[in-house]
Chain A
Amino acid sequence: METYENKKMMQTVFKNIRKDILRISEISGHGHIPTCFSVVETIYAFYEVMKHDSANPSWEERDIFILSKGHASLAQYVVMSKFGYFDLRDVESFGSFKSRFGCHANRLKVRGVEASTGSLGHGIGLAVGVALSFKIKKSDRRVVVVIGDGESNEGSVWEAVMVAVNLKLNNLIIVYDNNMSHQRGLQITNPGDRFKSFGAIVAEVDGHDVAQLKNEYILRHDTVKVIIANTIKGFGCKTMISNQYEWHRRSPNKEEHEILLKELDEAAV
């Protein structure tokens, strides 16, 4: 159980990650900030709990993390920099012509990124293949893939879930970032029931609570597990929360940046 002090300290960590995301987005003029803000704790939680080694990204015993909702790449870059994969200053080139750090990550350019994603509904199928390969090798390595609720409009997501359940891939954790993006278009009500009806084990957590996310990772089951991570797009900044359409893909100018920073500082995260 985490103490109040620990929890508070961790919250500061997440505020700082969000500040880095804002800063880099302002510098670069790129980024999907609200969706980055919804998955900060999720990405951080799994980098904390999974087996991996930033000094040796191709360590043969590592677990695999795949961000299928690739437009949250900036959140992944900032979190990975905290875990020592690269210097955060390098990420400041985000989205520029020669940058290694694209608005959607390229695994061949970014140290430690396992899959190049961007087009929605791809990373999850790839994750199924990785999880299957660990089963064939009789390895206890695990795979975490983060998908979006909007992304789950794609039929390929559900294909992949069916295949994963059919193969009983209990080394695969699908994190469903339920940040309500789906409300804009094709709505997915009761996602947990849907995944359950596909045969997956489903757990529902507060996606901004690292402890809950980590606990669900630790609990083992005999088939695929889907963690419905209930999150808020733009979490920590009320301007983005109340104007999600406007901020979906938008970088702040200097003035807006100041306002968003203030909101973050004041937020009861």
Chain B
Amino acid sequence: MRRQFKDTVMELSTSNDKLVMILGDVSVYLFKEFQDKYPDRFYNMGICENTLISVGAGLASQGFYPFVHTIAPFLTERSYEQIKLDMCYNQLGGNILTCGASFDYAWDGATHQCYSDLAILRMLPNVEVIQPGSLKELDVLLRSQYDNGKVTYYRLSDKPHTIDMPVEFGKAVVLKDCGGKITIMTAGPILVNVFEACKDLPINLVYFHTIQPIDKETIEHFRNTDILVIHDAFGLFEAICETAGLSVGYYGLPKDRFCDTYGTLEAIREDIGLDVTSIKEMLLNKMVQCL
């Protein structure tokens, strides 16, 4: 997905000379093409996430469109106050793009995991929160949002899904509406497993790439069903819960413990019950309870 990020930025740059890349010593080689073509607007600023955000805000104050990019936990959790104040409170919009969340760097352990980014950023004013699950989603949503003056967060993934669907900012996608009593709502690359788990079940499936603003209209459409949010992060569930009076539950991250294992993304998903088999088993049990 990072390659798509670079490709889209390269294309946008052909018609806009205000894009500035600010990297935290990540994806540097990938952006060599940009660096060679636009050396004045490429900065591998170093491993200093607080300053990356503040500098991005400063650039935005003078009419540039900053693209601040590094690893998710360090840019969002460490630099939350810089995002909150320098960008949001000052109303200096910019694009924040991260990699590694939630468990893309599974082998690196809990220090490199990030599953609260969407949840904490959606609480801020003047912010848009996007979790593109596919290359197409990233491409479409980058093009439509990067220059709108808001703070837009894109959580990139190295493990995108390939399910094609229409993409429009702020609009959820109803992937299956079979009149089922249960509606699954999910977001991002975990769609691969969720889609597979419920493909043969009489269950509705709704997909979100935009967490903030959340598509309340689509949520309303499924008000009379049992909504279950399946997500490998915090944020989507909380956003859906803001629609009052729903019957909504959450299945995903474990509570009150770190996922302190290593290995692969798939292994972590299996460990916390987000592999296809576990999701399907959970759904079959839920269907029995709903009878």
Interface residues of A (CB under 8 A from B): 106-108, 114-116, 118-119, 121-122, 124-137, 155-156, 159-160, 162-163, 166-167
Contacts and interface: CB of A to CB of B under 8 A. Distances in A.
A267 to B, nearest CB: 37
A159 B52 CA distance: 9
A136 B55 contact: no
A130 B50 contact: no
B43 A167 contact: yes
Nearest to A108: B91
B61 A133 contact: yes
21 contacts: A106-B89, A108-B90, A115-B90, A116-B90, A118-B85, A121-B50, A125-B55, A126-B61, A126-B90, A128-B51, A129-B57, A129-B61, A132-B43, A132-B59, A133-B63, A136-B41, A136-B64, A156-B51, A156-B54, A156-B82, A163-B51
Given A122-B85, A126-B86, A162-B48, A136 B20 contact: yes
Contacts, number: 93
A122 B64 contact: no
A151 B16 CA distance: 38
A132 B48 CA distance: 16
Contacts of B58: 125-133
Interface of B: 20, 40-41, 43, 45-46, 48, 50-51, 53-64, 66, 81-82, 85-86, 89-91
B46 A166 contact: yes
B82 A160 contact: no
B54 A126 contact: yes
Given A166-B45, A167-B43, 9 more contacts: A108-B91, A125-B50, A125-B53, A128-B58, A132-B43, A133-B61, A136-B40, A156-B54, A159-B51
A159 B50 contact: yes
Nearest to A135: B40
Nearest to A161: B51
Contact of A133 (B64, B89, B90): B64
Nearest to B17: A136
A6 B61 CA distance: 38
B61 A163 contact: no
Contacts of B53: 125
Nearest to B48: A159
A127 B55 CA distance: 7
Nearest to B57: A126
Contact of A129 (B40, B46, B56): B56
Nearest to A121: B50
Which 6 residue pairs of A and B lie closest in terms of their CB atoms, listed nearest first? A129-B58, A125-B54, A133-B62, A129-B55, A159-B48, A130-B58
Nearest to B47: A159
Contact of B62 (A106, A125, A137, A159): A137
The listed residue with most A CB atoms (<10 A of its CB), out of B56, B62, B63, is: B62
Nearest to B55: A129
Given A128-B51, A133-B62, A136-B40, A163 B45 contact: yes
A81 to B, nearest CB: 23
A224 B232 CA distance: 45
Contacts of A127: 58
Contacts of B86: 122, 125-126
Contacts of A132: 43, 55, 58-59
Nearest to A138: B40
Contacts of B45: 163, 166
Nearest to B18: A136
A163 B81 contact: no
A260 to B, nearest CB: 33
Contacts of B46: 162-163, 166
A121 B62 CA distance: 20
Nearest to B92: A126
A199 to B, nearest CB: 14
B40 A125 contact: no
Contacts of A136: 20, 40-41, 64
A159 B91 CA distance: 23
A128 B55 contact: yes
A156 B55 CA distance: 11
Contacts of B59: 129-130, 132-133
A23 B55 CA distance: 37
A187 B86 CA distance: 27
A125 B48 CA distance: 11
Given A115-B90, A122-B54, A136-B40, A130 B61 contact: yes
B150 to A, nearest CB: 15
B90 A130 contact: no
The listed residue with most A CB atoms (<10 A of its CB), out of B56, B58, B60, B61, is: B58
